[in-house]
Structure 1
Amino acid sequence: MFEVDVLVNWRRHEKWFAIVLLLVSAMFFHVRAFVGINIGTHVSNLPPASNVVSMLKLYKITHVRLYDADAQLLKALANSSIEVMVGVTNEEVLKLGKSPSAAAAWINKNVALYIPAINITAIAVGSEVLTSIPNAGPFLIRAMKYLHKALVAANLNLQVKVSTPQSMDVVLTSFPPSTATFNSSLNSTIYPLLQFLKTTKSYYMLNVYPYYGYMKGNGIFPLDYALLRPLSINRRIVDPNTLLHYTNMFDAMLDATYHSIKSLNFSDIPIVVTESGWPWSGGANETYATKKNAEIYVNNLISRVLNGSGPPSEPTNPVNAYVYELFSEDQKPGPMSEKNWGVLLTNGSAIYRLSLISSSVTGSSSVVYCVAKDGADPGKLQSGLNWACGQGGANCSAIQPGQTCFLPDNVVNHASYAYNDYYQKMQGNGGTCDFEGTATLTNTNPSHGSCVYIGSANAGGGNTDGGASVPAPSLSPGPFSSFRSSSSKLKAQLFHFLLSSMLLSASFLL
């Protein structure tokens, strides 16, 4: 009789258990793709770190990759909720690969020191080390192992993954993807690399550049194929071995890498694209480096990643990608195109239209700023400036002598900056843009040079003048989308809650 009751009760709750297990599975195993951005620092007139972070927030960028562990940027990213990938420079790889204590010191200084104020989720060890410094392979693997060991000691290994970005050059002939393999001369490094990624549940970091693939192809592939533009069925590239159709070079490069990984008998190692972009300007012989092509590629890349699908051979494995890059690194050596990959000017303005980034904003939202009115009484402006920087609590450090917003040195400029800083901070608490009639709201971005004004969304239009309505851009799918989070504490809390609920239900069966 007892066995019958248990069986009946189990069937009664079986559906409930299935629902709970489905929820657990969805929370822990479903990955929503994201688009992040790289931040290089070989930039003339690089804005202060605080301004860079303000731009990230304004453009709703949720994930960034730093090429090193820049202390100023890391401090500015504190409490921003932006997920951060920090980098070990190529110069540091040899040092860390020789000394476990050096690797532990690096973790303590550049990772553990900032957690939990900064959501550091990954360490990129070097950049394309296997193709730029081939003899450093053994040191690269040891550096990764030493860094991971230090993370384990600091109890951070579940939150922070360790990997190393590679270029497509480590793969031999990448088409058709099904025949792609790693360069066998690198296998003595790549095999232990894949073993490490598999053991630590990390991911393969890949830099994907269809721009270079198209240039090297010498017209074999159509430009639209490289730009991720839709291709008609009769123009799609077909892998003769798998019969999979490829509509763009980005997916083909991903699959070539997945097949290369499988050729060494590894599976379930996801790929994260650590760099991808298109130059917007180049030299006389770089005719495809144009703003038009850069605009098309970057917008199509964002759309491609955020649709949540994988490449043809891994359709259920979403790909995350970091756009290369936030600012153009004009101080880098090489051809003209190397210096022109950024999506923003250093004053925060977009270099080209980012329509797909803006499309997630709904309604009539626009970015507004609070500035001094034209023709306002200078005496009243000075009084308003004094109040904003004093009792109003505005941060006026940027308009001090020698700072980024000091020039032009006049009361209108200084009052505009102070008014805007006050308004952006206090509007949610009843603060207004009035200052005895000397201030007004505008959609025109008053930023200039390296002086960046922070704006905010204004859904109703309100008191604005001048300039066209500017959509608030975003590199995220929207405010209601869920992103992949590496916060082990949050996952643990959710798991324990659901597990407790399951155990509580199970007690009814007894």
Structure 2
Amino acid sequence: MFLLPAMQNIERAVSDLGVKVSTATDTNGFSRFPPSSGSFTPDFQIFFIDPVLSFLVSKKSPPAREYLTYFTYVNNMRDLSLEYALLISNKTVVNDGSNSYRNLFLAFLDTIYAALEKSIAGSVKIVVSESSWPTSGGTAASVDNARTYVKNFIQIAKTGSPRRPERAIETYIVRFDIKLVNNCLKLIAVSVTQMALFGFVIYV
């Protein structure tokens, strides 16, 4: 695995400047439902999660994860409501023990928390490195929906999740041009020209 040596080299190069080094965590290697059952697969944890998290914890750098509820929604519209993905559902969608979830983002985030708590990282903080909603180019992509998502996302970030209440979430809301991904990978059918906020980054 080349990721960890690369992170170590970068950290040595920028440590004197006080710059933190992190990496996004892949979410293909863990179970997702219900949130409290979140856990990494054994191979993924041994060969990726444990080495990388050990390094990040030793440097007091939080792991990062981007999450766009939009793509989860458009790939599962039979099972997920638009309100749940836009963070505006007024009813509980998922019950998980003593915790309940009215929006897709917090359900996903608590799944990550649960998986991390079962790893060597324990209750490490996680940074949401990217989240947003498209303003055009696909199903349910509109300026109004993007505005709704961002407004509610900022409020959620201030209050924390059911698993970690009253613990603000460090988040970044950014513009995202999926056309570049389409041109390079040809994997995503929707062509989203803009994600919310038109290129500005908001630090919450």
Calculate the TM-score normalised by the size of structure 1.
0.36
The equivalences for 1:242-391 within 5 A come to 242-282=97-137, 286-305=138-157, 308-325=158-175, 329=177, 332-334=180-182, 335-344=189-198
Amino acid at match of 1:144: M
Note the 1:11-160 alignment, pairs <5 A: 138-152=1-15, 154=16, 156=17, 159-160=18-19
Amino acid at match of 1:171: F
Distance 1:304 1:339 in 2: 26
Task: Give 1:181's match in structure 2, choosing from 39, 48, 55.
Answer: 39
Task: For residue 299 of structure 1, report the CA deviation from its aligned partner.
Answer: 1.7
* Matches for 1:321-470 after TM superposition, within 5 Å: 321-325=171-175, 329=177, 332-334=180-182, 335-344=189-198
Q: How much is the aligned-residue C-alpha RMSD, in angstroms?
A: 2.5
The gaps in structure 1 that reach 5 residues or longer are 1-137, 349-473, 478-510
Letter of the structure 2 residue corresponding to residue 343 of structure 1: L
Output the CA distance in 1 between the equivalents of 2:192 and 2:164: 32
The residue number in structure 1 matching 2:63 is 204
**Cα distance in 1 between the residues matched to 2:68 and 2:74:** 10
Letter in 1 for 2:153: L
Structure 2 CA distance for partners of 1:267 and 1:249, relative to 1, 3 Å: same
SS in 2 for 1:168: coil
Quote the residue 2:185 is aligned against.
none
Counterpart CA distance in 2 for 1:141 and 1:249 is 31
Structure 2: distance between partners of 1:338 and 1:190: 31
How far residue 171 of structure 1 moved from its aligned partner, in angstroms, is 2.9
Once the two structures are TM-superposed, the CA of residue 475 in structure 1 deviates from its matched residue by: 4.8
* Cα distance change of structure 1 residues 191 and 213 upon mapping to structure 2, 3 Å threshold: same
What is the aligned-residue identity percentage? 30
Q: Distance in 2 between matches of 1:148 and 1:274?
A: 19
Q: Judging changes above 3 Å, is the alpha-carbon distance between structure 1 residues 275 and 293 closer, same or farther for their aligned structure 2 residues?
A: same
The aligned counterpart of 2:21 is: 162
Structure 1 residues 222 and 166: alpha-carbon distance in aligned structure 2, compared to 1, 3 A threshold: same
* Cα distance in 2, alignment partners of residues 320 and 301 from structure 1: 11
Contact residue 289 and residue 337 of structure 1 kept, 8 A: no
Q: Which amino acid aligns with 1:148?
A: E
Q: Secondary structure at the match of 2:144?
A: helix
Residue 110 of structure 2 aligns to which amino acid in structure 1?
Answer: D
State whether structure 2 residue 88 is matched by structure 1 residue 238: no
Is the Cα–Cα contact under 8 Å of residues 332 and 339 in structure 1 kept in the other structure?
no
Offset at 1:476? 6.9
Aligned to 1:456: none
8 Å CA contact retained: 2:87, 2:102:
yes
The Cα shift of 1:316 comes to 3.3
Following superposition, the deviation at residue 331 of structure 1 comes to 5.5
Q: Is the 8 A contact 1:167 1:208 kept in 2?
A: no
Cα contact 2:177–2:194 (8 A) shared by 1: yes
Q: Relative to structure 1, is the Cα distance of residues 186 and 330 closer, same or farther in structure 2, using a 3 angstrom cutoff?
A: closer
| Distance (Å, rounded) in 1 between the aligned partners of 2:50 and 2:95 | 29
One-letter amino acid of the structure 2 residue matched with residue 339 of structure 1: T
CA distance in 2, matches of 1:178, 1:196: 25
Assess, with a 3 A threshold, how the Cα gap between structure 1 residues 145 and 330 changes in structure 2: closer, same or farther.
closer
Shift of residue 175, structure 1, vs aligned partner:
1.8
Tell me how many residue pairs correspond in the alignment.
Answer: 197
Query: CA separation of 1:316/1:299 partners in 2, compared to 1, >3 Å: closer, same or farther?
Result: closer
Q: Could you tell me which residue of structure 1 aligns to residue 81 of structure 2?
A: 222
Report if the CA contact (8 A) 1:214-1:221 is conserved.
yes
Distance 2:124 2:23 in 1: 13
Distance in 1, Cα, partners of 2:64 & 2:181: 24
The answer (yes or no) to whether the contact 1:177–1:253 under 8 Å persists in 2 is yes
Is 1:332–1:338's contact at 8 Å kept on the other side of the alignment?
A: no
Call closer, same or farther: CA 1:337–1:216 in 2, change over 3 Å: same
Q: For residue 320 of structure 1, what is the amino acid of its counterpart?
A: E
> Which of structures 1 and 2 has the bigger CA Rg?
1
| Cα displacement (A) at 1:297 | 0.8
Secondary structure, counterpart of 2:128 in structure 1: strand
Within 2, Cα distance between the matches of 1:213 and 1:331?
18
Kindly state the Cα deviation for residue 193 of structure 1 after the two structures are TM-superposed.
0.8
